[in-house]
Structure 1
Amino acid sequence: MLHKTYSLHKIHTSTSFGFDAGHYSRFKFGDGLVSAQFGTDLADGFIRDVLSKGRIQQQIVVISSPYAFIPTATFAMKDHFVYRLNHWLAENDLPIVQETKVHRTITYKEDYGELDAAQRMSLIGNDSFHIDAEFLKGKTLLFLDDIKITGSHERMISKMIKQYNLHNDIYMLYFAELANTAIHPNIENYLNYHDVKSIFDLDSIISSGHFRVNTRIVKYILNYDHDSFCVFLQNKPQAFISELYNMALGNSYHTMDSYALNLNYIKDHLFNNNKLLQYGN
């Protein structure tokens, strides 16, 4: 069955997006406050443009973008999308949202945002997505993602839908969509790194009290220059360092050579009772 697509913001120029590029960058690196706002805004738009017109009658299942162990940035946005949507559903005497997960099998170190359409499809095409099809029978599915650039993720979801023979009513929902194909897909990297030029720009996000860990920030930290990485960790709470290590293991990053130096440094600190090296030592 053909799915429908909904995006809150459509990008037509490389200088104006309909949302703050700095906020988007912070969202991609775990700013929970921005995630909450984006999720709420997307829900409000979807309610206004779709639900209020009476197009959905079935039980709704919300599904965040695929992940293995560490959630993507979309997962934090998803939570607040569901909260806002549930308010509307309850007020209209409709069943509240159910959730499920798309499991993915492969992780990679490449920065997806800097690739063109063909490179993206080549990279993600080796992945496979899995979902509980039995749970979804007779329900309307909302697949959430933060941004649609070339549609490669959407094609992989469509492939999964065909593989599992899903005949549900299906929506692909995005906070933003690149509507102008003349703009190079690496505009995504401009947005991703707008407010994060170095590892030290992460400090305010992590210490804000609203930090939400995701794959992007874990990969970024583990792949960073080792000397700067060591300085960055000096003032970080033990709980953050432990979470970083546990998330890395959960996504099998300990099997990737490019992360080995930084990850072993964390392991040595956590389990061999070694203090983090002070700057200059």
Structure 2
Amino acid sequence: MIPYSYSLHKIDNTADFGFSADEYSRFKFGDDRVARSFGKALADGFINYYLVDNLITDQIVVISSPYSFIPTATFAMKNYFVSQLNRWLVENGGLAVQETKVHRTITYKEDYGELSAEERLSLIGNDSFHIDKDFLAGKTLLFLDDIKITGSHERMILKMAKEYGLTNEMHMLYFAELVNKNIHPNVENFLNYHQVKSIFDLEEIIDGGNFCFNTRIVKYILNSSSSSFTIFLERRNAEFVNQLYDLSLGNNYHTIDAYSKNLDLIKDYIKNNNYKLI
């Protein structure tokens, strides 16, 4: 089973990525405006590259990158990819897409974007992915991710497909792909943190009116120094703090020692504010 593969941007040097590094960084930390731009661009690219000459008349299922409880940044991009793709499909006699999820079992503190190819494979190799095989029967699968660096995530998806005995037509779609293997995989973190150097750089994104939580921003907040975190927390409204806490629990971040101190601060903050209200 060899899947089709498409990436909108091919990274072959670090001087010109073909897209804004600042925008990509904002996207990775929850800027939904950029997610909209990226998702629509990826849909248009895939349509022109493949669908114009190879209309898929079977049911298409779009699947975002695997997550446990908190979606990844790719999930936000997926929403706009689906909207753009649906418009084209329906106008050209196709079916509106369906969606499903790849469940993952492990969450980890390590910053994936900083790791080498070997370290990535070692880390993600301990994870396991799960999907609803019966729902997928007879359908064409589009797996979305924001960036392909070493291909370790793709290998895990294909491993899952083999274990489930999937014979579906599969497409692996990426907003960007590192094609120059002489560039170290940590170029991903160069992009991730291009505009976010501290927890306070998040405030512009959060307050910009187009913010959505994802795994990266939650982990980044929880992993910040307690002194900075306390100041940051005092500047957030109750809705944000409560959502941050609930998402953290849902992803079992309370079981990770490195996050426990800041989670205790959130818990105290919520209790104290509830007490003030009473």
TM norm structure 2: 0.97
Question: 1:255-266 to 2 correspondence within 5 Å?
Answer: 255-266=255-266
Aligned position for 1:279: none
Cα deviation, residue 275, structure 1: 8.8
One-letter code aligned to 1:229? F
Cα deviation, residue 93, structure 1: 2.1
Aligned position for 1:68: 68
Aligned position for 2:34: 34
One-letter code aligned to 2:126? N
Could you tell me whether the CA contact under 8 Å between 1:68 and 1:104 is conserved in 2? yes
Cα deviation, residue 208, structure 1: 1.1
One-letter code aligned to 1:142? L
Aligned position for 1:113: 113
Cα deviation, residue 233, structure 1: 1.3
SS at match of 1:216: helix
- Partner Cα distance (2:235, 2:180) in 1: 43
SS at match of 1:147: strand
- Partner Cα distance (2:38, 2:105) in 1: 28
- Partner Cα distance (1:80, 1:236) in 2: 28
Aligned position for 2:239: 239
Cα deviation, residue 168, structure 1: 0.4
Could you tell me whether the CA contact under 8 Å between 2:31 and 2:211 is conserved in 1? yes
Cα deviation, residue 58, structure 1: 1.3
Aligned position for 2:81: 81
Aligned position for 2:190: 190
Could you tell me whether the CA contact under 8 Å between 1:146 and 1:176 is conserved in 2? yes
Cα deviation, residue 271, structure 1: 2.4
SS at match of 1:240: helix
Could you tell me whether the CA contact under 8 Å between 2:55 and 2:94 is conserved in 1? no
Cα deviation, residue 90, structure 1: 1.1
Could you tell me whether the CA contact under 8 Å between 2:114 and 2:189 is conserved in 1? yes
Aligned position for 1:19: 19
- Partner Cα distance (2:200, 2:272) in 1: 26
Root mean square deviation of aligned Cα: 1.2
Could you tell me whether the CA contact under 8 Å between 2:6 and 2:171 is conserved in 1? yes
Could you tell me whether the CA contact under 8 Å between 2:56 and 2:94 is conserved in 1? no
Could you tell me whether the CA contact under 8 Å between 1:268 and 1:274 is conserved in 2? no
TM norm structure 1: 0.96
In structure 1, list runs of 5 or more residues that go unmatched. Answer: 277-281
Question: 1:1-281 to 2 correspondence within 5 Å?
Answer: 1-273=1-273
- Partner Cα distance (1:271, 1:71) in 2: 27
- Partner Cα distance (2:79, 2:87) in 1: 13
One-letter code aligned to 1:252? N
Could you tell me whether the CA contact under 8 Å between 1:269 and 1:275 is conserved in 2? no
Could you tell me whether the CA contact under 8 Å between 2:222 and 2:262 is conserved in 1? yes
Could you tell me whether the CA contact under 8 Å between 2:43 and 2:82 is conserved in 1? yes
